[in-house]
Structure 1
Amino acid sequence: MSWRDCNLGDLLEIKHGYAFLGEYFADVGTHIVLTPGNFFDEGGFKQKGDKEKWYRGPIPSGYVLNEGDLIVAMTEQAEGLLGSSAIIPRSGIYLHNQRLGLVQLRDAGQTDTRFVYYIFNWKHVRQQIRASASGTKIRHTAPSRIASVKVRVPSVAIQRRIAGILSAYDELIENSQRRIRILESMARALYREWFVHFRFPGHESIRRVPSSLGEIPQGWEVKRVADSFEISGGGTPSRKEERYWDGGAIQWFSPSDLTSAGTMFMDDSSDHITALGLVESSARLFPAMSVMLTSRATIGAIAINTREACTNQGFITCLPNDRVPLYFLFHWVTESVPTFQRLASGATFKEISRGVFKTIEFLQPPAQLTEGFEAVVAPMAGQILALQRQIQNLRRTRDLLLPRLLSGQIDVEALDHA
């Protein structure tokens, strides 16, 4: 099959986003201002839930995105996001700000949008985009610089075939992600129904009694966190000492592990430390199936570790027990994030200390209720973990195929005749 060498500027042009005014940002509104935080590192559109930036101000014409539009991150809001692209899933609600670019094809008859989407998410191209960026604290590129990125492209028919192969993996990933979102929302709704609104099985026959947290069902106890479950802190071995890091096999989480993944479970950390690094630092090992909570700067990223692990000092890790089982604890922590943020203090960045955390009031339901909740939610969590691992396997396969397909190493026409 014939491929031709060209620059991205021969295929497309990029329209810069608009600098939407911060005074019009709100918790709710009519439109959502997209940022690089709406991209996954490997590409794709990322819903941010409660953290979306809603906009209620005037909107210049031409900045409301449509379903199928292709956007690219021009600013490296977090490491790895620069050059990442995403396809808009819905018309009329999303706005692109000045940190994003709208990709517009020069000839839609000769260039496939989905193929271009995968080009942007190819490591070879992303490296060129990153090299084109400038800035010290926050790196930023420009449409003219992206236009000079060198690529090779086949005929539009082959482009569509390649995009079809890769998008089949992405559709399977999205289906699994959708199932995860449904399971997570079912579990959270059940937690709120039983333990926030007190509409648990048999609640009609239980009278309410006054407490420091307001009226609660009789038989429930208001305790302190310190009297309910154990917590653990973290630490960082010196980066100057290679023996603390080289060849390390102990999982060591930093907040960026949780914020970049955005998943309920964490199978592994990006960094690992040695046994010596653990002993000679304030990092503390905690068991698998604990609840990790980021406690400084970004307060409220939460995940469950599936293997024994430790963290840096930006965490409070909550350890479940018989009275406070894992998934009940996970949802209590999730629901309590506004409380943690309110109690945080600090001049440079906000942090909730372990000392303050231990004093937080904790509502302890009777054991039969937490056990009943666990019996219902644990199978859901098991499905979520299985789906997460399925997604990881699909991504690995897609990411192995992507550079081979986009470079022409795999002959797509030969596949069709195989």
Structure 2
Amino acid sequence: MMQTARINSLCSRVTSGGTPSRKHRKYYADSNNGHLWVKSKELLDRAIDDTEERISDEGLQRSSAKYLPANTALMAMYGANVGQLGWLKCPATVNQAVCGMVVDGEIADPRYVFYALLYSRPALTAKAQGAAQQNLNQGLIKEFEIPTPPLKAQKQIAAILSAYDDLIENNLRRIKISEEMAQDLYREWFVKFRFPGHEQVRMVDSPLGKIPEGWEVMSVSEAVDLNPKLNIEKDKEKFFVPMSGLSTDSMVITEFKYRTGNNGAKFQNGDTLFARITPSTEHGKTGFVQCLTSDDEVAFGSTEYIVMRSKYLNPYAVYFLARELDLREHAIRSMTGASGRQRVQVGCFDNFFIATSAQDVLEKFEQAVAPNFRLIQKLWDKNRALSQTRDLLLPKLISGELDVSELDINIEETA
């Protein structure tokens, strides 16, 4: 029988944090300064080495935000993502919805504790309390017990599982860099007008201001096919993308399932999915479809998507146009509906205008960025396979079904 131990007995500190007052801008810092500040929505069951926001020294001092060391295990205590986990690759602060578990390295391995919590999460979240929404608290987490083999075995288990996660993290970094490179090129060519050969093209007046000679001013509705008509069989199981499958900062479709039905947005490879409902629109949820098995396949998803398809612009330019801040702000201003359920009106794209280049420039752009798009999908497919293998090993290792005592594993890095 595997021994167990309470979280509190394995940690030197278990604590939550806080949020500096939003009334004082000086409590927050820009992306190059201040302290990392982790919010519960940033807990994605993986390492954290950066955050959406940072807080200043004064913000830390004048709030309940807590500074936690590297290797701290984190868990979301409230709301829709209750039980989501993370671990700090570097020191950071956290808000009040995050429980930080500072593991005593003399007693337990920090990475092992993270994986043991991942394995035991269903049992812990089952203890969540609350009528409107299920919440955890520090008391429940402190008293919760996880399997605890000897320290050496913990380090071996952590080394095995972290090898998969390290590969996944490396691929995620490559995905981020590849998309940023392609997006920078889009902005350079189509926003700043510094496309190949621009030095020989004079700028002329237009309703948008100065644009390159030969370029046209079009509405988005003229340049992009919005919500194209597609038919799909109702009773057959098909690829389905829920709203949770779209990312706020990446083209990748991160979640999908197969299900019957035909109610929702229909799309194919090469289409861009633009979330049209609050708060998903404001958060920037957008995806590029390139994960279907063939270009003829028709998939469907949330009713709250606007499907954007190539018409005058090619698919790659359509995606980056959908990511442009000016367009998103215009779409947000068009929202109508009850508070909390407001939706972007497709008609708003009739009166948002862009400068469009000749097709030869668009073709050169496609040739330049298409390899980035293919690489991104290839890396994501690799990550999905790595995650599946890790998830198969996780319960077998934590439960003791797989014995690691005789394995020759380098555990120096997890010491």
TM-score, normalised via structure 1 length: 0.85
- Which range moves more in the overlay, 290-299 or 206-215? 206-215
Q: Which amino acid aligns with 1:75?
A: Y
Select the residue among 7, 30, 34 that pairs with 1:28: 30
Q: Which amino acid aligns with 1:269?
A: F
Could you give the per-residue CA deviations for residues 214-265 of structure 1, whole angstroms, max 9, x where no partner exists?
Answer: 2111111111122222111899x9xxxxx96xx75123333222148x6423
| Aligned ranges 1:1-400 → 2 under 5 Å | 3-12=2-11, 13-24=13-24, 28=30, 30-40=34-44, 42-45=45-48, 52-56=52-56, 57-60=58-61, 63-76=66-79, 78=80, 81-91=81-91, 94-105=92-103, 107-122=104-119, 125-232=120-227, 248-259=236-247, 263-266=250-253, 269-270=256-257, 272-273=259-260, 277-278=261-262, 281=263, 283-297=264-278, 298-299=280-281, 300-305=284-289, 306-307=291-292, 308-321=298-311, 323-335=312-324, 336-349=327-340, 350-400=342-392
Q: Who is 1:240 aligned against?
A: none
1:95–1:23: structure 2 CA closer, same or farther, 3 Å change rule?
Answer: farther
CA distance in 1, matches of 2:4, 2:300: 48
Q: Which amino acid aligns with 2:328?
A: V
1:383 is paired with a residue whose SS is helix
- Which range moves more in the overlay, 338-347 or 147-156? 338-347
Q: Who is 2:412 aligned against?
A: none
1:163 is paired with a residue whose SS is helix
Could you give the per-residue CA deviations for residues 268-299 of structure 1, whole angstroms, max 9, x where no partner exists?
Answer: 623623xxx32xx4x35332220001011110
CA distance in 2, matches of 1:345, 1:46: 38
Residue 398 of structure 1: how far off its partner (Å):
0.5
Residue 309 of structure 1: how far off its partner (Å):
1.6
1:75 is paired with a residue whose SS is coil
Structure 1 residue ranges (4+ consecutive) displaced by more than 6 angstroms after TM superposition = none
CA distance in 1, matches of 2:403, 2:68: 35
CA distance in 1, matches of 2:166, 2:54: 28
Any conservation in 2 of the 1:72–1:83 contact (CA below 8 Å)?
yes
2:214 is paired with a residue whose SS is coil
TM-score, normalised via structure 2 length: 0.85
2:373 is paired with a residue whose SS is helix
1:264 is paired with a residue whose SS is coil
CA distance in 1, matches of 2:220, 2:128: 47
Residue 352 of structure 1: how far off its partner (Å):
1.3
CA distance in 2, matches of 1:286, 1:59: 46
- Which range moves more in the overlay, 145-154 or 82-91? 82-91
CA distance in 2, matches of 1:46, 1:358: 41
Q: Which amino acid aligns with 2:259?
A: H
Q: Who is 1:412 aligned against?
A: 404
2:59 is paired with a residue whose SS is coil
Any conservation in 2 of the 1:17–1:101 contact (CA below 8 Å)?
yes
1:326–1:53: structure 2 CA closer, same or farther, 3 Å change rule?
Answer: same
2:405 is paired with a residue whose SS is helix
1:121 is paired with a residue whose SS is helix
1:356–1:33: structure 2 CA closer, same or farther, 3 Å change rule?
Answer: same
Any conservation in 1 of the 2:265–2:300 contact (CA below 8 Å)?
yes
Any conservation in 2 of the 1:251–1:268 contact (CA below 8 Å)?
no
1:266–1:413: structure 2 CA closer, same or farther, 3 Å change rule?
Answer: same
Q: What count of residue pairs does the alignment treat as equivalent?
A: 388
Residue 66 of structure 1: how far off its partner (Å):
3.3
Could you give the per-residue CA deviations for residues 182-224 of structure 1, whole angstroms, max 9, x where no partner exists?
Answer: 1111111111111111111111111111222221111111111
Q: Which amino acid aligns with 1:327?
A: Y
CA distance in 2, matches of 1:37, 1:186: 26
Any conservation in 1 of the 2:265–2:307 contact (CA below 8 Å)?
no
List runs of 5+ in structure 2 lacking aligned partners: 293-297, 410-415
Residue 319 of structure 1: how far off its partner (Å):
0.9
Instruction: Give the fraction of aligned pairs with identical amino acids, expressed as a percent.
Output: 27
1:89–1:249: structure 2 CA closer, same or farther, 3 Å change rule?
Answer: same
- Which range moves more in the overlay, 11-20 or 153-162? 11-20
Residue 166 of structure 1: how far off its partner (Å):
0.5
Q: Who is 2:413 aligned against?
A: none
